[in-house]
Amino acid sequence: MKKLIIAVLFSGVFLTACKKEEVAPTPTGSGPVSIYFEHLFGASTFNLGQNYITANNDTMNFSLFNYFVSNIELVKADGSVYTYPTDSSYFLVKEAYDSTRTINLKNIPAGEYVGVRLIIGVDSLRNTMPLTSRTGVLDPATGAAGMYWSWNTGYIFLKSEGTCSSSPSMMGMSKMFQHHVGLYGGMNSPTINNVKKINLTFPGTYKAIVGSGLAPEIHTKVDISKMYNNVDFSKYSMVMVHPYSATLANNYATMFEVEHVHND
């Protein structure tokens, strides 16, 4: 009886040892990738028309918050980079329209991706192309309406408007602020270059697994409070083509962080 028990136990160990580990199939072909931008103000969900307190104890209320995202690149685990087709790589995110906060990329080559690179703004090359080459969200008359300086010939990379408790009242406007940040370095004469390229590495062991039948989503947090760290609204409530725009651009370049990746 004892020999029988030992034989049964041995056979169980043998079968367990011989069982192959299940290995996920290598993705093939191509597939879509989406990037979702979750807007926050510190720990709070960001909404237009809601009050928020800054690090300087100012009370802010936003009526508009828009920005361009462009020139998207996806970084593979082996360090290689896939550049999304440039002509299709311009997107306008508008807080007022939920659908614009998800960017959908098509036909991404199969693989495991661990990071994404993108520009906040519109690069100098596209800024200086003929208008016939600027369609969709880059058409100043339609898609980019309100995000283009016709008098200054250039895109507004990020537009933020509303009220702030420490803004002065001027020109009949009470406590208003308007921050319109653009400038790409200039075409005929040099200007500030506020084009910001940011590199977002996925946290921990997160990867976007791309391939036929797969549709990963890169969930990105955008903490708008970081744009307003230590901004003195008593001096800089109205900023457009101004040297202080570089400070705002440097601030908003820190807003973005990948929180996690959904692989569906």
Domain residue ranges in the chain = 26-262
**What pLDDT is attached to residue 10?**
46
Block mean pLDDT (10 aa), the chain, length 264 = 47 48 73 98 98 96 98 96 97 98 98 98 94 92 94 89 92 87 87 96 97 96 97 96 96 98 91
- Which residues in 188-209 are b (16+ Cβ under 10 Å) and which e? eeebbebbbebebebeeebbbb
**What pLDDT is attached to residue 24?**
61
**What pLDDT is attached to residue 187?**
76
Which residues, in sequence order, are bridge partners of residue 161? 64, 178
Q: What value, to the nearest 5°, has the Cα angle with vertex 208 and ends 206 and 213?
A: 140
Which residues, in sequence order, are bridge partners of residue 120? 69, 196
Query: What's the pTM value of the predicted model, to 2 decimals?
Result: 0.89
Q: Could you tell me which residues come within 8 angstroms of residue 63 by beta carbon, excluding any fewer than 6 positions away?
A: 48, 49, 161, 162, 163
Continuous H helices in the chain = 2-18, 124-127, 245-252
